[in-house]
Structure 1
Amino acid sequence: MRLEISCEDRLGITQNVLDILVRHEIDLRGIEVDEAGKIFLHIPNIEFAEFQHLMPEIRRIKGIMDVKTTPYMPIEREKHQLVALLHSLSEPVFSIDARGRVLLVNNAVANGVELDFKSIVGRDIAEFIKGFNFSRWLEGKKITPQCTAVKFIEQDFVAELLPVQVTDKDGESNLAGAMLVLKSDAVLSPQPGVLHDSFAPLAAASQGMRKVVKEANKVAGLDAPVLFIGETGTGKELLAQACHKASSRADKPFLVLNCAALPDNVAEPELFGYAPGAYGNDNSKTGLFEQAQGGTLLLDEIGDMSAQLQAKLLRVLETGCFRRVGDSNEVRVDVRIMCTTHKDLGQLVMDGKFREDLYYRLNVLSLSLPPLRERKQDIVPLAEKFVKQHAAKLGMKAPKLSRSCVEYLQGYSWPGNVRQLQNSMFRAVSLLEGDEIHKDNVQLPSTSNDGPFVQAEITGTLDEAVKRFEKDLLRRLYPTYPSTRQLARKLGLSHTAIANKLRDYGINKRTVKL
């Protein structure tokens, strides 16, 4: 329970209030006194009978004008506002104490290191940020703001170091810690003809991918919808994020909604939010459109969006306005829309499964990402990058790729594209004993390019041969598409049909090595 007490500025009035708490044997969890003549108390919840005696006693104190309950203490409100602000920033942000221990981080940090907040707080900042001596800086006689090059998750950033000083009653400043804001070079606008550094993680060595990145570099600066087309795992979201970082919206949020993963009754409030009372309660929700204000919203697998949501999205694109669920008031937003799809939207339009007017609205600028099997020159640079990243997370020296491993990686067809390569390198590094990755350390399922599915001579009936072929095909694809929905989308069948076939053939995570 929290109390807000309005009172006169009188010496001893706070002590009078505390004396009443002592008489009632009420524990005090927190107290604040502000300059506006208010005392805020945080006490445990008490019985109603005790509450009835407490409030009149406080009101009878000389100089007390009003006593009422309040939902929060001022410092609690400020803390939550600070946390909300941190999480709205797309750049990684750390708050550390005077000894360099992490006090607070935002979502960009937690997502980057793939740890929850509790696992990060309390650890030394040097575990996460390399290339700067924080101990020497914090122990210096005169600590001033600095800008320095650092590495975070094996990537280059410019760190803004801002000391936090607390002034005592004598006017002397005491170091309480510091704030670190990591900025990529994406905050700088690229010169014409010069690739922005945000595209460097894409490791574009092949001619096809260099062409895509060059086009993306131009598209990034144009404030219009972008459609990214490519097979699953080709890096569409990574390219979209690079375009965002290279745009004028780089310092604003980049948010993602997977259209294929959510039903309408979940996706609609996620996108647009809802008003109080919309779902039978007094709470409201801010949707992704409002959260991404001034930034970019990526709609992943837009081809799976329902007709109802397609109509609402079209209205946002046309007017820049929408209504929350259960609300009659319009909300205006300034958000750049980006979309990804592995489907042929043009064919979906012809089949009547996608709105033609929305298709032309979204397809203003489009980029097609080639599959990894068509960009062989990118395989080794990407593999080396993933090895370094995963080794850094595991706190070990990055192993090298042997010649046999390189030849094996380049000869594989990569049905799961870049995502499959990343996962295979993580598995290899995690289980490695030694300082070099060999072919035998990389576990990959066989693909149709590794040999024929059907032997020249078969036994049994055609139906039996077809079932053997079907079972073999599903066993080969299952490690790359280890869920019935992913496999169903890959083969163009219903989720139920695939689930039944996997059950009939005994294919699951226990019987197939992923």
Structure 2
Amino acid sequence: MVYLEAMRFLSQFGLGAVLISNDDIILESNEAADCLLADAGALKGRTLSEILPDMTRQLPGTYINIAFSKYLTLCPTPVGVDLPAHTRLICFRDAASEVSHRMLGTIVNLIREPILLCDEKKRIMLVNDALMRMESLVPENVVGKDINEAYTCIDGNELTVPVVIADKKPIEDRRQAYTTLHGKRLDIMCNSYPIFEEGAILGVFCMTADVSRIEVLSQQIIDLQEGLLKKHPAAKKPQKSGLSAKFHFDDIICQSALMKEMIERCKMIARSDSSVMLYGETGTGKELVAQSIHNASNRADGPFLAINCAAIPENLLESMLFGTEKGAYTGAERRPGLFEQANGGTLLLDELNSMSMTLQAKLLRVLQDGVVRRVGGTEEKHVDVRVLSNINVPPYQAIAENALRQDVFYRLGVVNISIPALRRRKEDIPILIRSFFQQMNKKLSKSVSDVDEEVLAIFCAYNWPGNVRELQHCIEHAMNLLPYEETVIRKEYLPEHIQSVCGYQRLALETADDGMLEQVLSNVERCILTSAIQRNKGNISRAARQLGISRQNLQHRMKRNGLVLEDILSAKPRAD
């Protein structure tokens, strides 16, 4: 195709094109280019660097600010165009709308209040990070759905969005209880406003607040006030201990079947007073689960105390657990131990297998009879404490290695819960990444929104010996290195031991079981397929095109990996 004909053709689609010589002089421009660069005046005969400085060094997809609220972006040059010798064709288009959209999207996600926008047909158009965090969802779960499909009222009232669309009037300070499409129950305060254009309603804008969280904060304020009253001589009301657990099951981010099953088991055992032993590798979130069990139990109003048995010397650990009487040793004062302080509540023994066997033997009396005697004392006191414990090796391995007494295990391991390692639940990686983005964007003043496909493949293949904590640190590392103007994490920003293909393969194989190669390949494929299908909202043809394979090939790979479309689309990025 002759270049003049090609330039006219591009102009019909709103694409500007200029033909420039090797010395940067504009030889020809099409009508769209003249229109997009109208503020610059006549183009022909001038240098491109004069009109658009540094444009030739920009990459396609980046934005060039040519005037106030006016932006251009470079486009790939068409192939097969017959150009004169020693010339080149540069194409560009108007990008003002998408720049504004990106800016507004970033602003909306920085707003702490949960926000939702629906069109006039009640379809969800936009949700911000705060709403997704509150509802434990990702945008792909709800965007495009009818509001009544995504949420179900459980308080006998109708959702506010359809009412506002019908009445064309705002609704303010409406309290609503509803469930998400994945069953999470929420209690909110909602303000919903219609959006008009020349009298016609375009949609509804909603701002919400999680009432249950507000009530928790209010209770904490009351507890603090009671703590202050306790110090006042006139206070006569019995006071509750200020020691408490801050995590709930709602704080556990997951969508894998393994984690869902583990959480449901924990919710059931939370109802009793039986001792629970949690086993999980370093970084799996054992204390988070322990605190959640306490907060879901009948002891939630009582104190929650935790002690790391690996961080404290044996003699000091004994004094901290059982308390001391004055004179028990040089400098000893009369003070209660953790068992007494946790009376009516829960005590967590963190890394129990690091406690000496001698001190474990001394635990048996309080575990068997609920009786504690302070170091250097003779008086015995009865305590009502639920004991939770955690270890970072399998219990029977700890017993075999003489790191855990068998009789202590039988007392503290009445119920045993195993917390899955991250390598066994890699489908949780995308939702965990989103959660870390929300935390770190505020902490680091960034606007990171995604990782590219290569990074996702690395994450799915890597063995994560440090589990969720290592993933979190990896994301924080990358976000610290990522330039402020970039929003997608690429391979070069990852820690060196993870970004190196040899590195992550080696680390994966260090703890490999038989058949690890097949497991790694399967994990990578499952992660990439799931991500592509979710991004394309279940459109198999579009997802296949994005992956560069046929629709039939994608369906075959889904079947081979046991992936069901309905399960992928309804995958619940839960915090419960």
Structure 1-normalised TM-score?
0.49
- Larger of the two Rg values belongs to structure: 2
